[in-house]
C-alpha cells in the first residue's frame, strides 16, 4: 500500500511543551526568536504519523529535529551576522555570514612568492563555521561516517578501506589524548574525512548530496555552474581558498593578520613540539572582525582547492568570481596556521598545502555554505 504524503498542522507550543525533553523548549524559543508564527512553522510534511505524539519524540532521540527545522528555514538559520557573532560567545556549531562582494587577497610584500600578486576576487555571500569542527561534533558522525559509502568521494572511501580508518587518527592513541576533548578541534582527519563529514552533516538537515558523488570523484556540474562561475548547491562543503582568506582577514584588507596589532595574545601558536590544541570556544582568544574564533592558530584548516604555487599569478588579470581553483593537482590547500606554527605562518596571505591523505595533529577544518 502506498502511503500518501500529508500536511499536518498542530499547535507547536502545546506539542513542544508537552514533551518532557529539555531541547523542546529550545526549539520553541528558536521559532519565536526568529519571528515565526509557531503554528505555521510547525507544518511539516510527514507520512501520516501523529506528529505531536510520535514524530517529534523520535526526532529528538535521533538528534534530527534541529536539522529538519534548519532545512525548512535554511536561509534564516544559516548564520549569525558578524556583530552577533562577536557580541557573545556563540554556541559550537554556529555559523557567521560573510557578505558577498569584491575583496583584495594576496600580499605584494609577502614573505613567499606564491602570495603575490595582490588580486581582486568576487564571491557570493556564504556562511562559515565560527569554530573549527570539534571532536564532540565529529563523534556524532563516526558510526555513520565510517560505515557507509554514501558520504565519501570514491578515493576517500578506498583509502578508508585500505588503511582501516574507523575514527580520527589520534582518538585511539593514549599518548595523544590531549587532543581529544569534546570542545577541542578534531584533528587527525584527512581531506577526504573532512569532506565526508560535511556531506553527513548536510544529510542530518535534510540536504541531499543530489547524486554529485560519483564512482570517479564528484560531478562538479551538479553543484557549481562553471559557465556563470557560481555555486548552485547550498549544502555544506569545504571552503575555497579565497573564502578562507576572506574569512581569516575579518574585513581588514591590507593587514598582515586578522588584528592590526598582530597575533600575540590573540592566537594560539608557537607552542613547540609538546604543544596542544585549546578549546575552540576558549574565551582567552578574541574573535576577528567577522566573529570567527581561532581565525588563525590552533589548527590549520583544509581548503577545497588543489594547491598551485603559481595560481595567484594566473588570477591577476581581471576579477575572478567564486574561484574554485584548479581541476586537478597533488596537494590540497591548508590555511591559517596552528598551535605549532610560528607567527609568519599565521599571516592571512600565507598559503600552505598538504597531501589530502595526511592526518596531522594540527590540521582540522570548518564547513561553509553558499547563501543562495
Ordered by start, the domain boundaries in the chain are 6-40+47-77, 113-370
HSE (side-chain half, CA atoms, 13 Å) at 361: 19
Burial class (CB in 10 A: 0-12, 13-18, 19+), 251: middle
Domain 113-370, CATH: 3.90.1580.10
Give the pLDDT band of residue 14 (cuts 50, 70, 90). Answer: low
Q: What is the reported pLDDT for 212?
A: 87
Q: What is the reported pLDDT for 32?
A: 55
Give the pLDDT band of residue 175 (cuts 50, 70, 90). Answer: low
- For the CA atoms of 121, 196, 258, 351, the dihedral, rounded to the nearest 10 degrees, stands at -60
Secondary structure percentages of the chain, helix, strand, coil, to 5: 30, 15, 55
Q: What is the reported pLDDT for 44?
A: 38
Percentage of residues in the chain having pLDDT higher than 90: 65
Q: What is the reported pLDDT for 22?
A: 53
Q: Angle 334-243-291 (CA atoms, 0-180°, nearest 5)?
A: 100
- Residue-averaged pLDDT of the chain: 84
Residues 72, 44 contacting (CB under 8 angstroms):
yes
- Give tens-digit pLDDT for 32-69: 554 444 444 444 333 333 444 445 555 544 445 545 54
Q: How many C-beta neighbours within 10 Å does residue 165 have?
A: 20
- Give tens-digit pLDDT for 65-120: 545 544 444 434 457 999 999 988 999 999 999 999 999 999 999 999 999 999 99
Phi and psi, residue 228, nearest 5°: -110, 5
Q: Is 0.75 surpassed by the pTM of this model?
A: yes
- Give tens-digit pLDDT for 267-326: 999 999 899 999 999 999 999 999 999 999 999 999 999 999 999 988 767 788 999 988
Percentage of residues in the chain having pLDDT higher than 70: 78
Phi and psi, residue 320, nearest 5°: -95, 130
| β-bridge partners, 320 | 121
Q: What is the reported pLDDT for 1?
A: 35
Nearest to 220 by CA among 327, 148, 355, 323: 327
Nearest to 73 by CA among 36, 122, 112, 108: 36
Amino acid at each position: 500500500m502506498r502511503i500518501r504524503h500529508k500536511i499536518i498542522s498542530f499547535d507547536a507550543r502545546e506539542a513542544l511543551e508537552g514533551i518532557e525533553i529539555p531541547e523542546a523548549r529550545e526549539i520553541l524559543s528558536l521559532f519565536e526568536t526568529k519571528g515565526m508564527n509557531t503554528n505555521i512553522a510547525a507544518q511539516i510534511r510527514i507520512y501520516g504519523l501523529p506528529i505531536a505524539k510520535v514524530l517529534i519524540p523520535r526526532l529528538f532521540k535521533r538528534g534530527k529535529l534541529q536539522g529538519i527545522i534548519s532545512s525548512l528555514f535554511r536561509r534564516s538559520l544559516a548564520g549569525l551576522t558578524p556583530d552577533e557573532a562577536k557580541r557573545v560567545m556563540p554556541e559550537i556549531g554556529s555559523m557567521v555570514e560573510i557578505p558577498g562582494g569584491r575583496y583584495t587577497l594576496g600580499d605584494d610584500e609577502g614573505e613567499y612568492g606564491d602570495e603575490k600578486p595582490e588580486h581582486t576576487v568576487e564571491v557570493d555571500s556564504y556562511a562559515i563555521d565560527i569554530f573549527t569542527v570539534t571532536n564532540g561534533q565529529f563523534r556524532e558522525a563516526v558510526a555513520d561516517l565510517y560505515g557507509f559509502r554514501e558520504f565519501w568521494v570514491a578515493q576517500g572511501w578506498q583509502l578508508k578501506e585500505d588503511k582501516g580508518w574507523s575514527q580520527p587518527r589520534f582518538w585511539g592513541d593514549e599518548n595523544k589524548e590531549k587532543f581529544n576533548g569534546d570542545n577541542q578541534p578534531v584533528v587527525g582527519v584527512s581531506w577526504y574525512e573532512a569532506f565526508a563529514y560535511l556531506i553527513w552533516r548536510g544529510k542530518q538537515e535534510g540536504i541531499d548530496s543530489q547524486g554529485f558523488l560519483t564512482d570517479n570523484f564528484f560531478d562538479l556540474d551538479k553543484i557549481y555552474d562553471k559557465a556563470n562561475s557560481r555555486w548552485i548547491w547550498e549544502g555544506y562543503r569545504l571552503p575555497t581558498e579565497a573564502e578562507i582568506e576572506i574569512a581569516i582577514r575579518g574585513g581588514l584588507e591590507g593587514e598582515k593578520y586578522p588584528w592590526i596589532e598582530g597575533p600575540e595574545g590573540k592566537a594560539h601558536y608557537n607552542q613547540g613540539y609538546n604543544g596542544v590544541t585549546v578549546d575552540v570556544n576558549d574565551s582567552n582568544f578574541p574573535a576577528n572582525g567577522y566573529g570567527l574564533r581561532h581565525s588563525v592558530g590552533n589548527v590549520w584548516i583544509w581548503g577545497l582547492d588543489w594547491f598551485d604555487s603559481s595560481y595567484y599569478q594566473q588570477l591577476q588579470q581581471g576579477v575572478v568570481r567564486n574561484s574554485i581553483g584548479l581541476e586537478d593537482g597533488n596537494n590540497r590547500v591548508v590555511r591559517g596556521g596552528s598551535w605549532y606554527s610560528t607567527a609568519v605562518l599565521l599571516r592571512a596571505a600565507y598559503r600552505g598545502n598538504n597531501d589530502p591523505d595526511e592526518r596531522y595533529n594540527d590540521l582540522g577544518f570548518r564547513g561553509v555554505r553558499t547563501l543562495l
